[in-house]
């Protein structure tokens, strides 16, 4: 089982100081992967910078130029959440480009699956602006190239970050060639991703949002995947599955209110791996989005790689979420989504 990874030291040069989205997210992850001897079992996929032409498939030129100009001037805030430094533009080019080289490796059958350990993250970046810690929409840029360069016409994006990927949704809202599926805490930042957002024009029905209540954990996520994602994916028959992997749903993450565990992320990964094997010859590409408890993030990514490699004895050094009284009402959400999308 050939599993690839993308990593480049330039990602550390996106210097955000004490911001929660900082370079220790990757340095700790790489350290854990090395200490476990897992990194040596993976295939390194070199990153490259995305070209302006590739970015223009998703973003307008003035947005690209604004990111470049702010970085050239030494960095600064692009909005109230999103900060840049002098090397952030270059890091962002290599983040988007890292997914493109991973896509090439998958499509050329050099690897069976891959995980792009990139930053800055991307799924909030829209056509016109940076937001939510994101400069360019990495997964949208790669999805557009899957459609254009490799002539695919059915790409499934699965986004399990705690925040809704508004930028990814907007990029393909009217496109029937992309099925965008998102689980996210709602109501929460950025305020989008309600059930009734199903697409527009030819893309109606190809945006599938599952706005989840607080305190959902492993059992609730697997229930959503089994009851909603599985039939939707089988109906869509994707040629590749792209995953916005946000680990801020871990119970110890201080930015949100979910109850996922390291073991739960391993289960989700195994589930997506099985789905990819069933539907699209195993073509599965992960990219890093959120996750801000550094220890939980590193071990969750490690568990993701182990699940991609087919390992079943995966340790969870952090353990399950603390017990809570009462269970979140996920069944009513599932029923509403199924009814809206007419999923049997």
Q: Are 11 and 95 in contact (CB under 8 A)?
A: yes
Query: Can you state the angle between helices 88-107 and 138-148, rounded to 10 degrees?
Result: 40
CA–CA separation, 170 vs 133, rounded Å?
17
From 139, 170, 165, select the one nearest 284 (Cα to Cα).
139
124 in catalytic set: yes
Residue 159: CA count within 13 A, CB half-sphere: 35
Q: Which sign does the torsion angle of CA 314, 319, 323, 328 carry?
A: negative
Which one is catalytic: 14, 59, 63, 124?
A: 124
- Return the structure tokens found at 51: 């070209």
Q: Are 102 and 284 in contact (CB under 8 A)?
A: no
**H/E segment holding residue 267:** helix 262-279
| DSSP code, position 34 | H
Residue 90: burial class (beta carbons within 10 Å; 0-12, 13-18, 19+): middle
CA–CA separation, 160 vs 149, rounded Å?
26
Residue 160's alpha-carbon distances to 88, 225, 269, 337, in angstroms, are 25, 10, 11, 16
CA–CA separation, 90 vs 119, rounded Å?
11
Strands (E), 91-239: 113-116, 155-159, 178-185, 207-212
Catalytic residues: 124
């Amino acid at each position: 089982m050939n599993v690839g990874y993308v990593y480049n030291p330039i990602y550390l040069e996106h210097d955000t100081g004490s911001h929660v989205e900082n370079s220790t997210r990757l340095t700790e992850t790489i350290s854990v992967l090395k200490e476990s001897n897992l990194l040596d079992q993976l295939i390194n996929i070199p990153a490259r910078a995305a070209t302006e032409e590739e970015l223009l498939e998703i973003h307008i030129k003035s947005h690209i130029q604004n990111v470049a100009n702010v970085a050239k001037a030494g960095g600064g805030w692009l909005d109230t959440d999103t900060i840049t430094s002098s090397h952030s533009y270059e890091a962002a080019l290599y983040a988007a480009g890292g997914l493109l080289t991973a896509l090439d490796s998958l499509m050329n059958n050099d690897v069976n699956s891959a995980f792009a350990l990139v930053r800055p993250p991307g799924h909030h970046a829209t056509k016109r602006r940076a937001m939510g810690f994101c400069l360019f929409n990495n997964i949208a840029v790669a999805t557009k190239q899957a459609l254009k360069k490799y002539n695919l016409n059915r790409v499934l994006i699965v986004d399990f970050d705690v925040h809704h990927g508004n930028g990814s949704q907007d990029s393909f809202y009217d496109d029937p060639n992309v099925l965008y599926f998102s689980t996210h805490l709602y109501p929460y930042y950025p305020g989008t991703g309600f059930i009734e957002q199903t697409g527009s024009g030819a893309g109606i029905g190809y945006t599938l949002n599952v706005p989840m209540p607080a305190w959902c954990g492993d059992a609730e996520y697997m229930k959503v995947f089994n009851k909603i994602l599985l039939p939707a994916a089988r109906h869509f028959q994707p040629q590749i599955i792209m995953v916005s992997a946000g680990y801020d749903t871990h119970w110890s993450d201080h930015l949100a209110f979910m109850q996922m565990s390291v073991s739960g992320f391993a289960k989700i990964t195994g589930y997506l791996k099985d789905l990819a094997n069933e539907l699209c010859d195993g073509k599965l590409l992960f990219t890093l989005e959120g996750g801000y408890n550094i220890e939980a993030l590193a071990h969750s990514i490690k568990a993701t790689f182990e699940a991609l490699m087919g390992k079943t004895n995966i340790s969870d050094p952090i353990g399950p979420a603390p017990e809570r009284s009462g269970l979140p009402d996920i069944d009513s959400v599932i029923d509403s989504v199924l009814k809206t999308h007419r999923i049997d």
